[in-house]
Amino acid sequence: MTKPRVRSLAIWLLAVVMASPVLVVAASWLAGVSGNWQHLLDTVLPVYLANSVVLALGTGTGTLLVGTASAWAVARFSFPGHGTLSWALLLPMACPAYLLAYTWTGLLAPEGLLQQALALPLPDIRSLPGAIAMLTLVLYPYIYLMARSAFIQQSAVALDVARSLGAGPWRRFFRVALPLARPAIIAGLALVLMETLADYGTVQYFGVPTLSTGIYRTWFGLGDINAAAQMASALLLAMVLLLWVERFARQRRAITDSFAQRASRSVISGWRGWAVTAALCLPVLFGFLLPALQLLAWSAPQLDSALDSRFLGLLGNSLLIATLTTACAVGIGLLLIYARRLVPDTLRRHATRLASFGYAVPGTVLAVGVVLALGSTDQVINDVAQRLGLPAPGLVFSGTLFAVVFACTVRFLTIPVQGLEAGMARLSINLDHAGRSLGHPPLALFRRVHLPLLKVPLATSALLVFVDTLKELPATLVLRPFDTNTLAVRAFELASDERLADAALPALAILLAGLFPVILLTRATLQASEVSSAATDASVPSHA
């Protein structure tokens, strides 16, 4: 075999390893169709399905509206508070959906802050529409993030042409800007839908039976882990279709034209400007500020006693796991994407697809996939050691921090893979050829050309993975080593024990820990995108 072929095989094997927990889940079908399917079909499955579809449609529509509109406003207009809002709009994603659900329940409860302050009867949030609202608030930043950079990178020419043809601002948005940004928006939407369908905490607390709660109910209640895994893989199949749709959209993606002039932002002044500001404050207010205030109010009485060294330990663990996962996910994502860039053969193409499945499986199911995959690896290692007459090493992977980081990496790998894939696609292959012919081997080329040019997608996916891992719960919960707690684990344990006041402090810490990278990376991203993307497009003509 030739050297590139051997490497392709290695890349593919890496992808198989990353996909192994998902494959373990899918392998549940090998055991035969579970007898409980008939019962599920006759009773609850139609309800699960209907609720999941409504939830996905509602959250999809909600996040599209909020995410796209806010991205358009921030990318195209100047208004009071523009600088702050451009990053503040990302903040709600720092909040785990289930915590938002608990917090809003508290806010809207008869004795809650909001109900008291407004003295109005407020609707009960614990319903399907309520779950849609919660998930929309937490997830719209994905679309905002993707759409904003797409809008910023659009050339002014297309919009000016539309204008010269007599198109007003609305028509320009719907007929020109939106279709041009569609691939980016759909990529964001795919992430939103996957998170929505895999969400458990929110719908479970709100009493909305969905496919995801159904999976757990089948496992915990019926004790049928096989049927649960089969349901999860059916869900996965739906996700794969979504991914496929998304990829299809990206294939038809238009590359921005050469010598693009960035459209400058038009200024909206006076009351109109303030109206835009007020509108954009709403998602930040509902998705971040109000819940944070409620959490602060809950945790205030015990702030002194709770802020001890153990709390710092929680914070440290959370940051450690999030940092390691970010490094691994972004590193492996880069490796897969760059390997495919170098030699776009079938093995490497499949590798990037394979590695993208983890996001689509409900967390605890994926965690069990990891448990099984790592457990059997450990068994094999021990068997081999025994056969070689060596002392049994015991558990090498199971129950270590490695297991947690591995699981989180598997779960979030799709974020850098998709982000970098789109980013790489925007770079002309001739940049590589120029660099190679100028005497740079692949690694040097990567360091000097791709890395600087991929800053924006790298920073964006690192941010998403970091914040997602901070919030991550099920995999950490099941896989962690002894005495290793994180903020998310602590917050969840207390909240699920209906001790909201005690859960408030770790929850608040998750929000704050997510806040700083959001601010830092948004600034870096904005600067980088303004400097380098202006340059990138200039040398990538439309017919390349």
Partner 1 sequence: MRFPGIVLLAITVLVTGCSQPPEQVNVYSARKEALIKPLLDQFSADTGITVNLVTAKADALLERLKAEGEHSPADLLITVDAGRLHRAKQAGVLQPLADSTLEQRIPATLRDPESFWYGLSVRARVIVYAPERVDAGQLESYESLADEQWRGRICIRSSDNIYNQSLVASLIAHNGEQATEDWARAMVANMARDPVGGDRDQIKAVAAGECDLAVVNTYYLAMMASDDDPATRAVAESVAVFWPNQDERGVHINVSGAGVTAHAANRDNARQLLTFLTSDTAQQWYAERNHEYPAVEGIRVSEQLQGWGTFSQDDLNLSQLGELNADAVKVMDRAGWQ
Partner 2 sequence: MLDIERLSLSLEQQPVLSGITLHLARGDIGCLIGPSGCGKTTLLRAIAGFVPPASGQIHIGGRPVSDSARQVPPEKRRVGMVFQDIALFPHLDVAANIAFGISHWTATERQQRVSDLLKLVGLPDMGTRFPAQLSGGQQQRVAIARALAPKPQLLLLDEPFSALDAELREQVSRDVRHILKQEGITALFVTHDQNEAFTTADMLGVMTDGQLVQWDTPYRTYHRPANRFVADFIGRGSFIPGTVSGAFSVQTCLGEFQGSLPAGLQPGDRADVLIRPDDIIHDDDSPRTARVVDRAFRGAHMLYTLELEDGIRVPCLAPSHHAHAVDSRIGIRLELEHIVAFSRDGE
Question: Among 222, 234, 296, 524, which residue interacts with partner 1 (rule: CB under 8 A)?
Answer: 222
> Is the CA virtual torsion 269, 272, 278, 279 positive or negative?
negative
- First-last CA distance in the chain: 33
The answer to whether residue 254 forms part of the interface with partner 1 (CB under 8 A) is: no
Residue 204 sits in the site that holds partner 1 (CB under 8 A): yes
Residues 474-533 that bind partner 2 (CB under 8 A): 531-532
For partner 1, the binding residue among 319, 478, 524, 538 (CB under 8 A) is: 478
Residue selected from 195, 199, 224, 468 as contacting partner 1 according to rule CB under 8 A: 224
Express the helix, strand and coil content of the chain in percent, nearest 5 each: 80, 0, 20
Smallest separation, CB 321 to partner 1 (Å): 10
- Residue 483 in contact with partner 1, rule: CB under 8 A: yes
As to burial, measured by CB atoms within 10 angstroms (0-12 exposed, 13-18 middle, 19+ buried), residue 540 is: middle
Return the residue of 303, 434, 512, 520 that touches partner 2, per CB under 8 A: 434
507/204 Cα distance (integer angstroms): 19
Q: How far apart are the C-alpha atoms of 537 and 515, rounded to whole Å?
A: 31
The region of 24-32, 186-194, 219-227, 425-433 touching partner 2 under the rule CB under 8 A is 425-433
Under the binding rule (CB under 8 A), the answer on residue 401 touching partner 1 is yes
Q: Which residue in 46, 394, 452, 481 binds partner 2 (CB under 8 A)?
A: 452
User: Quick check: 265 and 169 in contact, CB under 8 A?
Assistant: no
Q: Which is nearer to partner 2, 389 or 439 (CB)?
A: 439
Please list every residue from 245 through 274 that binds partner 2, using CB under 8 A. 258-259
Q: Shortest gap between Cβ of 345 and partner 2 (angstroms)?
A: 10
Give the contact letters, 233-252, x = binds to partner 1 (CB under 8 A), - = no: --------------------
Give the C-alpha separation, 97 to 511, whole Å: 12
Q: Pick between residue 179 and residue 316 the one whose CB is nearest to partner 1.
A: 316
By CB under 8 A, residue 536 contacts partner 2: yes
Residue 501 as a binder of partner 1 (CB under 8 A): the answer is yes
Cβ-proximal residues to 60 (8 Å cutoff; 6+ apart), any chain: 189, 192, 193, 196
> Smallest gap, in angstroms, from Cβ of residue 64 to partner 2?
31
Work out what residue 378 binds among partner 2, partner 1, none; the CB cut-off runs from 5 to 8 Å by kind. partner 1
> What is the distance between the alpha carbons of residues 318 and 315, in angstroms, rounded to a whole number?
5
Candidate segments 52-60, 65-73, 160-168, 388-396, binder of partner 1 by CB under 8 A: 388-396
44 lines the binding site for partner 1 (CB under 8 A): yes
- The yes or no reply on residue 539 touching partner 2 (CB under 8 A) is yes
Which residues, numbered 89-128, are part of the site for partner 1 (CB under 8 A)? 105, 109-111, 124, 126-127
Contact 55, 203 (CB under 8 A): yes
Residue 316 within binding range of partner 1, rule CB under 8 A: no
Question: Tokens representing 63?
Answer: 């996040």
Element (H, E) at 157: helix 156-164
The rounded distance, in Å, linking the Cα atoms of 181 and 162 is: 16
Nearer to partner 2, 237 or 438 (CB): 438
C-beta pairs of 345-351 under 8 Å, 24+ apart in sequence: 345/4, 345/5, 345/8, 347/8, 347/9, 347/11, 347/12, 348/8, 348/11, 348/12, 350/12, 350/15, 351/11, 351/12, 351/14, 351/15
Is residue 399 at the binding interface for partner 1, with CB under 8 A as the rule? yes
Contact between residue 540 and residue 428 where contact means Cβ atoms under 8 Å apart: yes
- CB burial string 417-438: b at 16+ within 10 A, e below: bbbbbbbbbbbeeebbeebeee
CB neighbourhood size of 455 (10 A): 18
- Partner whose footprint covers residue 248, from partner 1, partner 2, none (CB < 5 to 8 Å by kind): none
> Cβ of 179: how many Cβ atoms within 10 Å?
12
The option from partner 2, partner 1, none interacting with 493 (CB < 5 to 8 A, set by class) reads partner 1
Q: Which does 430 bind (CB under 5 to 8 A by kind): partner 2, partner 1, none?
A: partner 2
CB 425 within 8 A of CB 368: no
* Contact of residue 349 among partner 1, partner 2, none (CB under 5-8 Å per partner type): none
By CB under 8 A, tell whether 214 contacts partner 2: no
Indicate which single residue of 435, 457, 474, 517 sits in contact with partner 2 (rule: CB under 8 A): 435
Of the pair 485, 529, the CB lying nearest partner 2 is at 529
135 touches partner 1 (CB under 8 A): no
| Burial of 195 per CB tally in 10 Å (0-12, 13-18, 19+) | buried
- Smallest distance from the beta carbon of 426 to partner 2, in angstroms? 11
Q: Which of 9, 23, 37, 39 binds partner 1 (CB under 8 A)?
A: 39
Give the DSSP H or E segment for 452.
helix 451-453
Q: Which residues bind partner 2 (CB under 8 A)?
A: 258-259, 428, 430-431, 433-441, 448-449, 452-453, 531-532, 534-541, 543-544
